[in-house]
Amino acid sequence: MEQRARVLIDCIDRKGLVYQISKLFYDLNLNIVSNREFVDKETKRFFMRTVVVGNFSTEELKDKLNSITKSDANIKVVPPAKKSIVIMATKESHALGDILIRHYDGELEANIVAVIANRDNLKDLVERFNIPFIYVSSDNISREDHEDILLKELKKLNFNYIVLAKYMRILTPKFVSEYQDKIINIHHSFLPAFIGANPYKQAYDRGVKIIGATAHFVTNDLDEGPIIAQDVTPVNHRLDWRDMQQAGRDVEKVVLSRALKLVLQDRVFIYGNKTVVF
């Protein structure tokens, strides 16, 4: 029976790679449905995302690709199946609500396993969509103890990514290392500008003419992880920082959903503190 797979290759560039890989697909009688490649000229790093259809063994295909790419290669052969996500939130509903609606309408290529929040005011919203809501209070407890409880809850679940939909707490290095390259955050600013708390107040004080949002992977450097997607909207002197915040919420939910779609479709390669996005 024919199967479809996304072939993801990240390796040192050298002459003839595209030809050799394409020839391998041809020799294995695989049809190339789509293909994108990119070479970082400064680092000589090669990236390729190809969708193939045919009869093949995943392990055999990976072995043959490894023999072509040789050293320092990262190769994945991924079936285009729905991934699973856990959403973490605090009390703002716009980013979470947008994801829930997209999931309900069948637009989100993922299963939402649960929503975990450190406040309970979003419980009714989440349960309207028949999705489990897990409340882990952060009141009167240290950050470390709170995260220990979170980690215990997460260990009970089977998922691919954690999505921070306005989860307004800084994660410790212990938590981040547990899910390295698996945590996606939406930051209410066009990074690298206005890092940290209340960026809209910072933007207002600076007199900016655009505000934006940035979706990125979480690292131990606050708001400085590899960027997946960004967007902006114009503002002017008539808006105070609260007006900017309201306008920014529309950008935030669109950018987060766009980034999530890219990740779920295996279109994002993390490379150092940057991404290659196909």
Taking a C-beta distance cutoff of 8 angstroms, is the pair 9, 74 a contact?
A: yes
Taking a C-beta distance cutoff of 8 angstroms, is the pair 201, 241 a contact?
A: yes
Distance between CA atoms of 177 and 53, rounded to whole angstroms?
A: 35
Cis peptide before 192 (omega within 30 of 0): yes
* Structure-token match 């150092």, residue found: 272
Distance between CA atoms of 166 and 119, rounded to whole angstroms?
A: 12
DSSP one-letter code for 205:
H
Among candidate residues 87, 101, 174, 169, the one with its CA nearest the CA of residue 134: 87
Both tokens of 154, joined, read 């997460």
Taking a C-beta distance cutoff of 8 angstroms, is the pair 259, 228 a contact?
A: yes
Taking a C-beta distance cutoff of 8 angstroms, is the pair 271, 40 a contact?
A: yes
**Residue tagged active-site, from 63, 98, 145, 223:** 223
How crowded is residue 78: how many other Cβ atoms within 10 Å of its Cβ? 16
* 223 carries an active-site annotation: yes
Distance between CA atoms of 27 and 21, rounded to whole angstroms?
A: 10
Both tokens of 264, joined, read 């779920």
How crowded is residue 122: how many other Cβ atoms within 10 Å of its Cβ? 23
Both tokens of 198, joined, read 């209340």
Taking a C-beta distance cutoff of 8 angstroms, is the pair 212, 190 a contact?
A: yes
Annotated active-site positions, please?
223
